[in-house]
Chain A
Amino acid sequence: MSDQRHWAEHQVNQPVFSDSLQQAIPTFCVLQTDGQVYPDATMPDIDQSLAQKIYRTSCFIRALDERMLASQRQGRISFYMTETGEEAADIGSCAALTDDDLIMGQYREQGALAFRGFTVDQFMNQIFSNEQDLGKGRQMPVHYGSRELNYMTISSPLTTQLPQAAGYAYGMKLRGQSSCVICYFGEGAASEGDFHAALNMAAVKHAPVIFFCRNNGYAISTPAHEQYAGDGIASRGPGYGIRTIRVDGNDMLAVLKATQDARAYAVESQKPVLIEAMTYRLGAHSSSDDPTGYRSRKEEQLWRHKDPVERFKLWLMAQGWWDEAQDQALKEEYRQSVSNAMKRAEKIPAPHLRDLVTDVYQQVPAHLEAQFASLEAHIQRHPEAYPKTAGRLHHG
């Protein structure tokens, strides 16, 4: 049956052009930069224990990011990406979920993984691609994944995870699970075709997925105004028939509240939701990027003033749930634990040679076995050229 809605009922007899900028989507804010809650703001469901866990996770991520960026500068690791300035977006939203909800990320959401319980050693083993890495040392640093923690392994191609999130969530629905998928992506990724495919499919198939956009103003060097001409990413949601909200992405309480409501809606109505968190990428895009070539110090300073972690700390202290002495001790503790874990991870050997050919298929096919045997024989002839693997060929 053809479904043309009720267009005829909204007939007009003069030309009326619609313009999204005249109907700009508002931004939900709870917390002011001084740590005070706006008088009329609706608070999220949060207690002392959850608030402290969120804050601790933020501080851990700051310590990890700072040390790892320095390590990359020292040449100890090949690559790194910080999430500085965006901790409220992923940690605040992840705190609204249950452990059964699947997280699918882009690459700047290590905070959500830390919140779930990924250990400092697990982070380090992935970054150093050693034999303890859950991903067996195959992917670049920050491409984390954990089956145990329901955190889908990250891949580099942007936006590919969005239609997958729709499919994964649809599977959850068919199984009758009362859980959802949260799917993170940046505003640049939202220009990919997979964004369109995913939102449309999720809406049409009624998949319980939260599409969470981190709009941090830049896709590498490209500012948002060169990325889109409409009212950000949020304005696209209603066009797909998706319930949508825009939130201050540097406001931990607003992000938490928006995601709590979004999750309740997604799971109860079995439909997708779109959240656009307005934030700022305070760091470089990655360790391979220098932002001074395309944006001003002044602009960065303006956003440093809106630091989501500092703002949340002020609120915690106003609740009487945190103090400066605790803060100093926690930060020192994380600096130490990151530093110690790094020293441990550096000493763990590289993956075994066998890990090069396993998991391409469920079983290693004959032609790949032949290639492996040939490689193994070659390495045995020239062990000095392959120090990572030559000494351990028979232990795999």
Chain B
Amino acid sequence: MAEMNLLQAINSALDLAMKADEQVLCFGEDVGQFGGVFRASSQLQEKYGSDRCFNTPLTEQGIVGFANGLAAQGMRPVAEVQFADYIFPAFDQIVNETAKYRYRSGNQFDVGSLTIRTPYGGGIHGGLYHSQSPEAYFTHTPGLKIVVPRNPYQAKGLLLASIQDDDPVLFFEPKRLYRAAVGDVPEDAYTLPLSKAEIVREGQDLTLVAWGAQVEVAEAAAQQASESGIECEVIDLRTLLPWDSDTIAESVRKTGRLIVTHEAPRTSGFGAEICATLQEMCFLSLESPIMRVTGLDTPFPLALEKEYLPNALKLVDAIHDSLNY
């Protein structure tokens, strides 16, 4: 075990993946000698050479297209998009190409070895284009897997699992926690299962579902609620596609109440999918409407970031609303 922050855990995962398999490549803007603008790929070029860890020209569609080609060829590319806000130029390559490669070719060709890493989320005064949480644009796309870790231990285990997985994975990293989240992480390689949610706090009064940096907010809200005698069960979804509805359903059948929280705007956010599915699965167990505590349906603002974000206090209000329904 070693104490690592979330960036160090990601760097450790990349290092181990490149060491174990020489077909693993890391590339993107400023990823090479500089080691990435957040330093996630620090020292990798020095250790594995500039053929396997390199800078690309500044073109997101080029990075993902190039990565698709490498993956189709059988290499194991880990492409970085500098901010999730800038993944949209690659949207076509991801949605029309990456996601459909295996299906459209009748499984003659695939890009299953591809992983795309990208920092996402707000709370860092990033304004409109350094704060977005675009996961729901991609959860609407069959063929992709979407993974979001919440802490250093999760980040390393889930990233190693994503790199090894034989389907393409979009790996969203909560950049607010890059240096803020610190914890014990095994120095050796290990994996955590994809498509498996994790109960991070047990409770019997209400179920709270979150992912990524928002899990910490949900845990803080659960702690505050607990002080007034309400015990929330907090679930980290971890994988958004294909997602683990069974773990949530089991919890909701016990608690009878569900709140979903995410930073992204409410309308058509992934919370909507969870609400719709869980009311189908748990209709007879629900004692109040399923609620969502999310970002507003606005672009992500700079000065009023605190007002915009779904913080613990907003969650506690919603918890009381649900209990008092």
State the Cβ distance, B61 to closest chain A Cβ, in Å. 5
Q: How far is the CA of A158 from the CA of B195 in the complex (A)?
A: 33
- Asked if B73 is at the interface (CB within 8 A of a chain A CB), the reply is yes
State the Cβ distance, B70 to closest chain A Cβ, in Å. 4
Task: Determine if A171 and B65 form an interchain contact, defined as CB atoms under 8 angstroms apart.
Answer: no
State the Cβ distance, B108 to closest chain A Cβ, in Å. 4
- Asked if B15 is at the interface (CB within 8 A of a chain A CB), the reply is no
- For B68, B73, B107, the residue with the greatest tally of chain A CB atoms inside 10 Å of its CB is B73
- Asked if A138 is at the interface (CB within 8 A of a chain B CB), the reply is yes
Task: Determine if A362 and B112 form an interchain contact, defined as CB atoms under 8 angstroms apart.
Answer: yes
User: B93: nearest residue on chain A (CB-CB)?
Assistant: A160
Interface size on A, residues (CB 8 A): 45
Residues on the B chain within 8 Å of A138, using CB: 103-104, 106
Number of A-B pairs whose CB atoms are under 8 Å? Answer: 148
State the Cβ distance, B312 to closest chain A Cβ, in Å. 31
- For B54, B92, B103, B167, the residue with the greatest tally of chain A CB atoms inside 10 Å of its CB is B103
User: B142: nearest residue on chain A (CB-CB)?
Assistant: A360
State the Cβ distance, A373 to closest chain B Cβ, in Å. 15
- Asked if A170 is at the interface (CB within 8 A of a chain B CB), the reply is yes
Q: Given A157-B92, A171-B73, A201-B62, do A152 and B109 touch, yes or no (CB 8 Å)?
A: yes
**When each residue 39-77 of chain B gets 1 if its CB lies under 8 Å from chain A and 0 otherwise, what string results?**
000000000000110101101011011111111111101
Kindly identify which residue among B62, B75, B109 contacts A174, using a CB–CB cutoff of 8 Å.
B75
Task: Determine if B72 and A201 form an interchain contact, defined as CB atoms under 8 angstroms apart.
Answer: no
Q: How far is the CA of A163 from the CA of B57 in the complex (A)?
A: 12
Q: Which residues, 80 to 133 on A, are CB-close (under 8 Å) to B?
A: 133
Q: How far is the CA of A136 from the CA of B145 in the complex (A)?
A: 23
What interface size band does chain B fall in? 35 or more
- Asked if A155 is at the interface (CB within 8 A of a chain B CB), the reply is yes
Task: Determine if A367 and B69 form an interchain contact, defined as CB atoms under 8 angstroms apart.
Answer: no
Kindly identify which residue among A139, A164, A365, A366 contacts B104, using a CB–CB cutoff of 8 Å.
A139
Task: Determine if A200 and B57 form an interchain contact, defined as CB atoms under 8 angstroms apart.
Answer: yes
User: A367: nearest residue on chain B (CB-CB)?
Assistant: B242
User: A169: nearest residue on chain B (CB-CB)?
Assistant: B69
Q: How far is the CA of A194 from the CA of B61 in the complex (A)?
A: 7
- Asked if A208 is at the interface (CB within 8 A of a chain B CB), the reply is no
Q: How far is the CA of A361 from the CA of B52 in the complex (A)?
A: 27
Which of A16-24, A140-148, A300-308 contacts its partner? Answer: A140-148
Task: Determine if B109 and A153 form an interchain contact, defined as CB atoms under 8 angstroms apart.
Answer: yes
Kindly identify which residue among B62, B70, B102, B105 contacts A197, using a CB–CB cutoff of 8 Å.
B62
**When each residue 60-102 of chain B gets 1 if its CB lies under 8 Å from chain A and 0 otherwise, what string results?**
0110111111111111010000000000010011001100111
State the Cβ distance, B27 to closest chain A Cβ, in Å. 9
Residues on the B chain within 8 Å of A193, using CB: 61, 89
Task: Determine if B66 and A164 form an interchain contact, defined as CB atoms under 8 angstroms apart.
Answer: yes
Residues on the A chain within 8 Å of B68, using CB: 163-164, 167
Q: Which residues, 32 to 80 on A, are CB-close (under 8 Å) to B?
A: none
Q: How far is the CA of A367 from the CA of B100 in the complex (A)?
A: 18
Q: Given A155-B96, A167-B68, A171-B70, do A198 and B104 touch, yes or no (CB 8 Å)?
A: no
Task: Determine if A198 and B73 form an interchain contact, defined as CB atoms under 8 angstroms apart.
Answer: no
- Asked if B143 is at the interface (CB within 8 A of a chain A CB), the reply is yes
Task: Determine if B57 and A171 form an interchain contact, defined as CB atoms under 8 angstroms apart.
Answer: no
- Asked if A335 is at the interface (CB within 8 A of a chain B CB), the reply is no
Kindly identify which residue among B73, B96, B110, B242 contacts A366, using a CB–CB cutoff of 8 Å.
B242
Please name the 8 residue pairs, one residue from A and one from B, whose CB atoms are nearest each other, closest first.
A163-B65, A167-B69, A197-B62, A171-B73, A164-B69, A153-B105, A167-B66, A168-B69
Can you show 12 pairs from A to B with CB atoms below 8 A apart?
A: A138-B104, A139-B104, A155-B96, A155-B104, A164-B72, A167-B65, A167-B73, A193-B89, A360-B143, A361-B102, A365-B195, A367-B245
- For the complex with contacts A160-B93, A170-B66, 5 further pairs of A-B residues with Cβ separation under 8 Å are A145-B105, A145-B108, A174-B25, A201-B56, A201-B62
